[in-house]
Amino acid sequence: MNEKTKGMLLVGLVVVAGLVWYLETKSGSVAIATSQFGDLNYKPLAIDNPALQREKQEASRKTQYKGGGRDLFSLAPPPPVVEHKEEHPTQVGPLQPAPPPPPSLPGNVKFFGYGTVPNGTAKRAFLSDGDQIFIVAEGDTLLGRFRVVKIGNANLDFEEIASGRRGSTALSEEPVAAPAS
């Protein structure tokens, strides 16, 4: 298509657009469209004082939400509400159960040292239970009940597998006797 043909096509489209615009504005279709969507018999609400009520706005801004302690995403009933009269007579809140104590290693199991293999592997912890010696790495299980989480320089962090509770035991300073052979 050459430049002359493109120019004539453009002029023709402009003439058609002008003709459509003229016919639309002359027929009054804009007035018909607005009357279909708007109500011509509109009456405003009867309000005595339409001014903003700043006092009510400030009071609503200063209020604080105090939740009832219920989890909205759980079907369990909300916890019981008990008044705390010792500290603040007006304070009301849910009764919180005491957290369970952290787990501890059973019986005579003691963390008495740690070490690494020369080729750069992870630390190994040395634990004793009487005559029995356990050598565990991070992530290993101990006695089928505990998972070693972290081996530190002064303590051993572990997790109880059944409950997921975490505990820690310090490095024991007591000498451990070598097992009898």
Q: Is 151 a member of any domain?
A: yes
Q: Is 102 a member of any domain?
A: no
Q: Report helix, strand and coil shares of the chain as percent, to nearest 5.
A: 25, 25, 50
- What is the tens place of the pLDDT at every residue in 118-127? 777 778 888 8
Query: Is 15 or 25 the better-scoring residue by pLDDT?
Result: 15
Q: Is 176 a member of any domain?
A: no
Packing angle of the helix pair 3-27, 29-37 (nearest 10 deg): 60
Reported as a pLDDT band with limits 50, 70 and 90, residue 7 is very high
- What is the tens place of the pLDDT at every residue in 24-76? 888 765 555 555 666 677 787 787 777 888 888 899 888 887 776 677 787 77
Domain count, the chain: 2
In the chain, DSSP finds a helix count (H) and a strand count (E) of 3, 9
**What is the rounded CA–CA span in Å between residue 140 and residue 138?**
6
Residue in the block written with tokens 């058609």? 16
Q: Is 51 a member of any domain?
A: no
Q: Is 126 a member of any domain?
A: yes
Query: Is 150 or 80 the better-scoring residue by pLDDT?
Result: 150
Q: Is 70 a member of any domain?
A: no
Supply the pLDDT for residue 118: 77
Give the range of the structural domain holding residue 26, as residue numbers without chain letter: 3-34
Residues ≥6 apart with Cβ < 8 Å to 176 = 110, 112, 128, 133
Rounded mean pLDDT of 111-123?
Answer: 80
Instruction: Write down the mean pLDDT value for the chain.
Output: 79
Rounded mean pLDDT of 73-87?
Answer: 67
**Residue pair 137/123 in contact by the 8 Å Cβ criterion:** yes
Pairing verdict, β 141-142 and 146-151 = antiparallel
For 90-141, give the DSSP string: T-EEEPPPPPPPPP---TTEEEEEEE--TTT---EEEEEETTEEEEEETT-E
pLDDT beyond 90 at 131: no
